[in-house]
Amino acid sequence: MSIPPVPPQTSRAAKALNVFELLIATPAGRQAWLAGPEAAFNAHKAGLGAAFGTVMFAHIPLATLQVLRGLSEPELALLSRLDATYVADGLFIDVPAVGRVYYK
Considering the domain boundaries, does residue 100 fall inside one? Answer: no
Considering the domain boundaries, does residue 95 fall inside one? Answer: no
pTM of the model: 0.76
Give the residue-averaged pLDDT of 23-30. 96
Considering the domain boundaries, does residue 103 fall inside one? Answer: no
pLDDT tens readout for residues 52-96: 888 999 999 999 999 999 999 999 999 998 877 877 888 766 655
Query: Count of domains in the chain?
Result: 1
Contact 72, 62 (CB under 8 A): no
83 is in which domain, residue-wise?
11-88
**Is 51 exposed, middle or buried, given 0-12, 13-18 or 19+ CB atoms closer than 10 A?**
exposed
Percent over 90 (pLDDT), the chain: 55
Considering the domain boundaries, does residue 97 fall inside one? Answer: no
